[in-house]
């Protein structure tokens, strides 16, 4: 009986190696899969809103206290207003910028809160795109003329000296420097802007005059 020997040539061995590599890769001979592209979504940031806290009746009855009055970014501004005074007050921001602190007035076109009693709050938001110095004031009769005014610098600086000029621009008459602040017209039931029967003097508050401290005669101006 003849014996047959199987002989493998080198080319045949190469075929077996190639088949083994393909099986190991598990690709079935196909090309590698393409890399998937990931879409990148860009989110546009919302415009920043400046928030300014406004306190009425502090540090004195006829005064404002704002958390920021200078270099406020142009754009959307929200005012959160609280009346901490005894008298009735409100907060109004004029719509047009002023050329000078001496140009303040007792009235203007703008946006304002309602008249607020002690402890009441109000909020309003507006957008100011033009840089400049904007007057704010209390519109209760006599309050702005008595010093309840100031300047808000939008995109510009406002110094303390300008705030003082704005508050005192017409707070005294041209004759003798006598205060032009109106007196009570309620027959003794309270001063202008005050609840009936209440005055600054009786409540222990101050109205930025010297009569509460005894350095000036009592001018009976009470809350105003």
**Cα separations in angstroms, 42 against 3, 91, 213:** 77, 40, 62
Task: Tell me the C-alpha distance between 175 and 193, whole Å.
Answer: 26
The whole-number pLDDT of residue 106 equals 86
Max Cα distance, the chain (Å): 148
Look at residue 166 in the predicted model and tell me its pLDDT.
Answer: 94
Statement: residue 32 has pLDDT above 50: yes
* Residue 175 pLDDT > 50: no
Residue 52 vs residues 49, 56, 73, 148, 152: alpha-carbon distances, Å: 10, 13, 11, 17, 11
CA atoms of 171 and 142, how far apart (whole Å): 9
Residue 122 has pLDDT above 70, yes or no: yes
Query: Is 80 exceeded by the pLDDT of residue 184?
Result: no
Q: How many CA atoms lie within 13 A of 19 on its CB side?
A: 6
For 40-54, 84-98, 101-115, which range has the lowest pLDDT when averaged over its residues?
Answer: 40-54
Question: Is the link from the previous residue into 205 a cis peptide, with omega within 30 of 0?
Answer: no
> Contact at 8 Å (CB) between 110 and 120?
no
Least confident of 52-61, 138-147, 176-185: 176-185
How far is 137 from 170, CA to CA, in rounded Å?
13
DSSP 3-state helix, strand, coil percentages of the chain (rounded to 5)? 15, 25, 60
pLDDT score, position 185: 34
Nearest CA to 126 out of 80, 78, 70 is that of: 78
């Amino acid at each position: 009986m003849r014996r047959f020997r199987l002989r493998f040539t080198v080319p045949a061995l190469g075929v077996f190696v190639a088949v083994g590599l393909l099986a190991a890769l598990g690709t079935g001979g196909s090309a590698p899969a393409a890399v998937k592209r990931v879409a990148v979504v860009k989110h546009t940031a919302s415009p920043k809103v400046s928030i300014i806290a406004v306190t009425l009746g502090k540090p004195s009855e006829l005064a404002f206290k704002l958390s920021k009055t200078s270099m406020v970014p142009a754009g959307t501004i929200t005012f959160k207003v609280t009346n901490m005074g005894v008298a009735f007050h409100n907060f109004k921001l004029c719509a047009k910028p002023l050329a000078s602190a001496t140009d303040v007035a007792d009235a203007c076109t703008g946006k304002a809160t309602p008249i607020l009693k002690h402890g009441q709050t109000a909020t309003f938001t507006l957008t100011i795109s033009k840089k400049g110095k904007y007057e704010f004031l209390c519109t209760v009769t006599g309050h702005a003329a008595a010093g309840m005014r100031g300047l808000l610098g939008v995109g510009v600086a406002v110094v303390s000296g300008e705030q003082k000029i704005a508050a005192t621009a017409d707070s005294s008459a041209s004759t003798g420097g006598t205060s032009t602040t109106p007196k009570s017209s309620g027959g003794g039931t309270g001063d202008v802007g005050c609840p009936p029967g209440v005055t600054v003097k009786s409540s222990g508050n101050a109205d930025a005059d010297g009569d509460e401290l005894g350095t000036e005669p009592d001018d009976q101006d009470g809350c105003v």
